[in-house]
Structure 1
């Protein structure tokens, strides 16, 4: 099991790479580490936060994709009918954009710190964008 450290706002998480089901997505994301950005609240999807990546082309297709991630699952939408993005579910999510329902590659799952997911989501909702950093332990 390969883990990654994530700091989002004041919270720390550990997540597992989903190498068996999303090998290409995991490899591409590893090539970006350490990765720092800001996370904002989703607009259409429900209880989730996202990192908009605009027109960034990561050269990925779909693998291990879903529209209904469980809390603690990260999806990477490789682009297409909507912009490229990373989504973190902290509660009920139906992944969507102004273009309609989307499916993203489930590539990370939080394994430590799950008790802080809802607090992070509410902080992002009510206080705005928060810094997020992904790095190897």
Structure 2
């Protein structure tokens, strides 16, 4: 003899019950949240502010190094070194996205602005005038 329980006698197994028709209505709405039109989170204000505060201490050292390169090798050497370090800092900041790489980037930018004639070169580039 097997120990199986008797079959239950309730719907859908019983024959005396009629199945009422069941209707299921599903309404899906696809309401996406409205994006803020003035989203400036890509600026990362807090992170950049902290990095600039630290870079204010370190950028004079980089500016002094660029001034030494300017004295020893000329303006072209200083510009090359400034752009090379800035390009490397941009690459590392994009690849790592750490606080230290952001400080390195701001140090390279602020040191170049302190040591090199950025604005006069920009005027020369835009107007062609050396005065």
Shorter-normalised TM-score: what interval? Answer: under 0.3
Which protein is richer in strand relative to its size?
A: 1
Higher relative contact order, structure no. (Cα contacts within 8 Å, ≥ 6 residues apart): 1
TM-score (norm 1): 0.21
